[in-house]
Structure 1
Amino acid sequence: MTLVLRFGSGDTARCRFAVSPLQETMSALLVLKAPHRQAWYLPWLRGIQDVVAGLDLGLLGVAVPVRGHGPDFLWPSPTGPLTTIEDDLAQVRAAAPDVVAAELAEHARRLDPRTVPPHLYRALTGDPVAARDRLVAHQREAWRALVAPLWDRVRGLLDADITTRARQLADGGLEGLFADLHRRARWENDALHLRGLRRGSLDLRGRGLVLVPTAFGWPNLGIGPTGATSAAPPSLVYPMLGAARLWAPAARPPAIARLLGAGRAAVLAETLVPGTTGGLARRVGLAPATVSHHLTVLRDAGLVTAERRGHEVLYRQTPLAAALYSGGV
């Protein structure tokens, strides 16, 4: 099966990148519900065992299918690369009651009522405003428990992916971008062909396309919303580059620690995954002021770069630092 996205006048210019804390949260929930995907996330699963044991998401667990299509309003298209969890949740909370009712009713028809606790089934098909608000509360709880503790590291990798993909788009247009975005995505005749999704075609109608890298969605490819009446641009969710870095401990060769000092070497090692001063301080267990000083020295030495992201500054290793770690200098 193949879904074909047809680009018309203006759609190419309206393609943009975004991140979504809520997308990561919902994808993390799917990892918990799909044992066949859990092998890729074992380090994360080991670290949240106690949290998961005490997590009761009730209605949200019923509303999120392991396979197939779920309610679109629970997966809003993010607004941009600086989207916060509150931005995402505000979109869910703003979903019209008639839309919520229709999508939850459609989802309920795909469920076997015998496998769902009666009180949750009634909540799913009852008052849409109450159901929507309850689902938003569960999404916030899931975010805090599952994703927020490692969001700085996830966010750094998502930003690094966007930087790389934006360069591909600038250098090779959409054809260059989609050449290696995902093995099931192919650009042909001014249209994007997505294998493994429902058969059909979707005209973007000048809305463009939002490209959303994901850590917890690996290795899948997803898209939504795709409803014919939706005014929002669809979001194409694809696995980010360098996902293995998320779980790998930062390498800290003894020679570099002797050269730079233990604290500065630790900060440099962590910038393999881009991060802010505060985020890096949490990762290495040092005071933000100390990390800020180390970053200034590392930047002056050409080992890290600083890029502004909204009101934040993101630090990442330079090729010189990477060569130093690999023994290339």
Structure 2
Amino acid sequence: MFEFRFGVDDLAATWFAYSPLQETVLGLRARRWTGYYPEQQPWIAGWQDRYETLDTELLDALIAPNAFVPDFLTPRPLVPRPDFHAELARQVATPPEVVRADVLAAYVDAGNPLPPVLAALIDDPAELAARVAETLEAYWTRCLAPVWWPRARSVLEADLAYRARLLAERGAEGLFADLDGRISWQAGVLRLIDTNPAVRALGTSVDVAGRGLVLIPTLAGMGAQTDITQDGPPLITYPARGKATMAEGLAGRPGAAGPPPGLVGLIGPARARLLMLLAAPACTTELAHRLGVTPGAVSRHLGALAAAGLLDRTRQGRRVLYRRSGLGDALTLRKP
């Protein structure tokens, strides 16, 4: 069990962030444990040809058999919405001795041998970090950034908006109780109980001590987790609310249903398709990517649907997220 002990001011310094680098690294788990990530499988199938052009031996080696990853691969975000390349630069700058220790902790200390590609580089950790960064950047650029990340970012943004409302309405106790079943809060102590015996054996007590606790939603978590060394600033990742919607409406997804004929007759095929896609929040650019049309065309349809009361809008910084309203949900229901 991990315990995070809060002082008087520590709760005020608790904040939320998401990390594109963390999603890139931890998302590799979905390739190995397909049953835990069904919503990611259509995406993985869609970019398989591009994935095979990468250094797949190294990418596959970044996830240990027990699902651990070396902690240097997922540095704590410094801002709520970090840039992927800025995070990658911090990863490359990790001191070589930390890189080596983190790799050994994820594999050898947990009772697993190093994969050959890591064993060949472990005594040159600076080169290992550089090669990992180069490979992750190629993976990001070719597979994730064009379409997957805009969709993922919308789900993560929606989670942050939901948590902010929850904190305002129910306070810290309600917020922590809603994050994950592994997390509990009592008398200024946040507890995380992992179901993995290997992780439980690493459990410790951590004083937040003015450093601030960062809570990170992820699409790649099988439950709330923290870093396995606890040498750095305290953090907890937890499954993002709405992650199961990642494949909804995805072109080519097995079993994906089109809009009901009556809805098409009422508002037209383009707007009906948009309404079906917006069971989960999305922005104009993401919707344009998914439909293969211009952002301007999508924007006009979104404006009409919102004016009719079928969509709700939420602003997140410079972006506007759209989601079906209650009326929109009712219109998308299929009649028996």
TM-score (norm 2): 0.84
Task: Please tell me the residue identity of whatever aligns with 1:47.
Answer: G
Q: In 2, are the aligned partners of 1:212 and 1:235 still within 8 Å (CA)? A: yes
What's 1:239 paired with?
239
Choose the corresponding residue for 2:278, options 241, 252, 271.
Answer: 271
Q: 1:41 to 1:300 in 2, by over 3 A?
A: closer
Q: Name the stretch that deviates more: 65-74 or 161-170.
A: 65-74
Tell me the distance in 1 between the aligned counterparts of 2:299 and 2:219. Answer: 27
Q: In 2, are the aligned partners of 1:14 and 1:208 still within 8 Å (CA)? A: yes
What's 2:175 paired with?
177
Tell me the distance in 2 between the aligned counterparts of 1:106 and 1:7. Answer: 27
Task: Please tell me the residue identity of whatever aligns with 1:221.
Answer: A
How far the C-alpha of 1:115 sits from its partner, in A, is 6.0
User: For this pair of structures, how many residues does the alignment match?
Assistant: 321
Q: 1:278 to 1:95 in 2, by over 3 A?
A: same
What's 2:226 paired with?
223
How far the C-alpha of 1:177 sits from its partner, in A, is 0.9
Following superposition of structure 1 onto structure 2, how do residues 1-329 of structure 1 map, counting pairs within 5 Å? 2-34=1-33, 37=36, 41-67=40-66, 69-104=68-103, 106-107=105-106, 109-110=108-109, 116-117=115-116, 120-126=118-124, 128-148=125-145, 149-196=147-194, 197=200, 198-217=202-221, 219-224=222-227, 226-228=229-231, 230=232, 232=233, 234-249=234-249, 252-326=259-333
Task: Please tell me the residue identity of whatever aligns with 1:308.
Answer: R
Q: In 2, are the aligned partners of 1:214 and 1:237 still within 8 Å (CA)? A: yes
SS at match of 1:224: coil
**Residues 168-224 of structure 1: CA distance to partner in whole angstroms, max 9, x if unpaired?**
11122221012232111111221111112432211111122211111122x322112
How far the C-alpha of 1:226 sits from its partner, in A, is 4.8
Tell me the distance in 2 between the aligned counterparts of 1:115 and 1:213. Answer: 29
Q: In 2, are the aligned partners of 1:210 and 1:235 still within 8 Å (CA)? A: yes
Tell me the distance in 1 between the aligned counterparts of 2:113 and 2:99. Answer: 23
How far the C-alpha of 1:302 sits from its partner, in A, is 2.2
How far the C-alpha of 1:280 sits from its partner, in A, is 0.8
Q: 1:49 to 1:60 in 2, by over 3 A?
A: closer
Task: Please tell me the residue identity of whatever aligns with 2:267.
Answer: L
**Residues 64-96 of structure 1: CA distance to partner in whole angstroms, max 9, x if unpaired?**
323264422111112344223223212212323
Q: In 2, are the aligned partners of 1:305 and 1:316 still within 8 Å (CA)? A: yes
**Residues 220-241 of structure 1: CA distance to partner in whole angstroms, max 9, x if unpaired?**
221127534x3x3x22111112
Tell me the distance in 1 between the aligned counterparts of 2:71 and 2:292. Answer: 40
Q: 1:242 to 1:207 in 2, by over 3 A?
A: same
Task: Please tell me the residue identity of whatever aligns with 1:173.
Answer: G
Tell me the distance in 2 between the aligned counterparts of 1:186 and 1:223. Answer: 14
**Residues 300-326 of structure 1: CA distance to partner in whole angstroms, max 9, x if unpaired?**
222223333233222222223223323
Task: Please tell me the residue identity of whatever aligns with 2:304.
Answer: V
Unaligned runs of 5+ in 1: none
Tell me the distance in 2 between the aligned counterparts of 1:208 and 1:93. Answer: 24
Q: Name the stretch that deviates more: 262-271 or 319-328.
A: 319-328
Q: 1:261 to 1:158 in 2, by over 3 A?
A: same
Q: 1:113 to 1:213 in 2, by over 3 A?
A: closer
TM-score (norm 1): 0.86
Tell me the distance in 2 between the aligned counterparts of 1:99 and 1:9. Answer: 32
How far the C-alpha of 1:327 sits from its partner, in A, is 7.4
Q: 1:94 to 1:240 in 2, by over 3 A?
A: same
